[in-house]
Amino acid sequence: MMVGIVGLGSYVPEQVVTNADLEKILDTTDGWIKSRSGITERRFARKDQATSDLAQIAAERALEDAHLSPNDIDLIIVGTNSPDMLYPATACLLQEMIGARNAAAFDLQAGCPGWVYAVTAGTQFIQSGMYKNVLVVGAEVITRMMDNTDRGTYVLFGDGAGATVLSTVEHGGFLSFELFADGSLAQYLTLPAGGSRKPFSKEVLKERSYFTKMDGQAVFRFSVREISRISKKVLDKANVPLESVDWFVPHQANLRIIQSGAQELGIPMEKVVVTIDKYGNSSAASIPIALDKIYTEGKLKNGDKVLMVSFGAGMTSGAIIMEWSR
Ligand code: UT7
């Protein structure tokens, strides 16, 4: 039984934050940000918007695209690293917002590959026969997890959401999945406080450990290694040669990581979808947003082979090779 994407939608907040805006609050320059990351601008959610609000708009667009009503959804999985609150799950809040009365709901936290992990999980529910239609959303207001006094992280991230409805398809769909985690590298990308290890305290406030801490170079090395390793693995599993890949949709963390991954795989840049220049790193939302970009631009054609790969906190990585069919 083949499972694929039968509905796709995304949303990015309207507020554009340029590198010049960040030059005013941080010791940074447009030149540094562009040359080191490829980012020109990013989107910030409005003060009154939380992750579920962004997820709602993307989910409603995906449902409309799928020609399904919220009542047709059996399960909602939200991949996020910036949930509205520690609990309940953002997926439950989303269930209520879109009126998906028949759906079970949970969040899946797997760093930036959260959407890739969630699509993999959602597919298993359909293939096992337990559910028919699964809504998988990657959604983040990740900028709120960033320290606006830390130039090493604050300039890199942006907010957004991408949603996909999964169901059985007659042709194509997901050809193979590959997931990976290495907890020995967990310390390189963390949000240390606010959980059971380090609850809120005066000390937490003072050390600003309720914000993301990242060893950029360590994450960079892991990402460059993983992007080609796990891509080759997922393609081998599906017996798809690299030359047959029509679209490469990598997680948007750094243009240099994307370029070196594409180069190592031998994929020309014309086949690579890039949104980081406009949206920055929107964590678990970056791949479905990028996919929706080529979809709404009319570039994604039936039969196209799409390679999606992500990497992030955990450290984790994940890849999917899909044949687009609508
Ligand atoms: O979503 C998954 C998680 N994230 C990633 O995948 C991110 C992976 N890492 C990266 O993308 C890159 O490592 C960064 C963009 C974060 C940093 O680029 P880099 O080329 O690795 O720079 P660096 O950390 O080696 O820093 C070089 C210099 C340092 O100054 P010194 O020590 O050489 O004097 C930094 O303090 O650049 C400095 N620097 C900045 N300068 C201006 C760091 N951030 C900034 C900044 N503006 N925003």
Q: pLDDT tens digits for 264-293?
A: 999 999 999 999 999 999 999 999 999 999
Where along the chain do the CATH 3.40.47.10 domains lie?
Answer: 3-171, 175-323
Mean pLDDT for all residues in the chain: 98
pLDDT digits (tens, 9 = 90+) for 208-256: 999 999 999 999 999 999 999 999 999 999 999 999 999 999 999 999 9
From CA 265, how far away is CA 242, in angstroms rounded? 8
So what's the architecture of 175-323 in CATH?
3-Layer(aba) Sandwich (3.40)
- Write out pLDDT tens, residues 118-162: 999 999 999 999 999 999 999 999 999 999 999 999 999 999 999
Q: Which residues pair with 107 in a beta bridge?
A: 78
Q: Is the peptide bond before 315 cis (omega within 30 degrees of 0)?
A: yes
Q: Is the pLDDT of residue 4 over 90?
A: yes
For residue 273, give every residue at least 6 positions away whose Cβ sits within 8 Å of its Cβ, in sequence order, or none: 247, 248, 249, 250, 290, 291, 293, 294
Q: Ligand 1, residue 151: give the atom nearest the CA.
A: 48
**What are the tokens at 219?**
């994450």
149-155: long-range contacts (C-beta < 8 A, 24 or more apart)?
A: 149/26, 149/208, 150/208, 150/211, 151/26, 151/27, 151/28, 152/214, 152/216, 153/211, 153/212, 153/213, 153/214, 153/216, 154/22, 154/26, 155/19, 155/22, 155/26, 155/28, 155/33, 155/37, 155/39
Q: 213-214 and 189-190 as β-strands: parallel, antiparallel, unpaired?
A: antiparallel
Task: Provide the pLDDT for residue 217.
Answer: 97
Average pLDDT for 174-185: 98
Q: Are 156 and 28 in contact (CB under 8 A)?
A: no
Choosing from 92, 112, 133, 254, the catalytic residue is 112
Query: Does the pLDDT at position 326 exceed 90?
Result: no
Report the candidate in 13, 18, 79 with the shortest Cα–Cα distance to residue 47.
13
Contact between residue 294 and residue 208 where contact means Cβ atoms under 8 Å apart:
no
First to last CA, the chain: 16
Q: Under CATH, to which class is 3-171 assigned?
A: alpha beta
Q: Which two tokens stand for residue 251?
A: 């997680």
User: Does residue 286 have its Cβ closer than 6 Å to ligand 1?
Assistant: no
In a mutational test of the pocket of ligand 1, which residue from 117, 220, 282 has the highest number of ligand atoms less than 8 Å from its CB? Answer: 220
112 lines ligand 1 (CB under 6 A): yes
Q: Which residue of the set 81, 133, 251, 254 is catalytic? A: 251
- SS3 assignment, position 53: helix
| Ligand 1 contacts CB of residue 103 (under 6 A) | no
Please give the distance, rounded to the nearest whole angstrom, from the Cα atom of residue 36 to the centre of ligand 1: 7
Mean pLDDT for 180-184 is 98
Q: Give the mean model confidence (pLDDT) for residues 47-74.
A: 98
* Percent of all residues in the chain with a pLDDT value above 70, rounded to a whole number: 100
92 catalytically annotated:
no
Could you tell me if 318 and 117 are in contact, meaning their C-beta atoms sit under 8 angstroms apart?
yes
The predicted structure's pLDDT at residue 231: 98
User: Would you state the pLDDT for residue 149?
Assistant: 97
Closest of 305, 283, 304, 271 to residue 82, by C-alpha: 283
Which residue type, as a one-letter code, is found at position 79?
G
Q: How many angstroms is it from 157 CA to the middle of ligand 1? A: 13
Q: How far is the CA of 161 from the centre of ligand 1 (A)?
A: 25
C-alpha 108/C-alpha 124 separation (Å) is 14
Question: Catalytic residue at 171?
Answer: no
pLDDT tens profile 38-47? 999 999 999 9
pLDDT of residue 61: 98
Distances in Å between the Cα of 127 and the Cα atoms of 131, 134, 237 are 8, 11, 18
Q: Residues 191-204: pLDDT tens digits?
A: 999 999 999 999 99
Q: What is the pLDDT of residue 17?
A: 98
286-312 residue pLDDT tens:
999 999 999 999 999 999 999 999 999
Task: Name the helix (H) or strand (E) containing 213.
Answer: strand 213-214
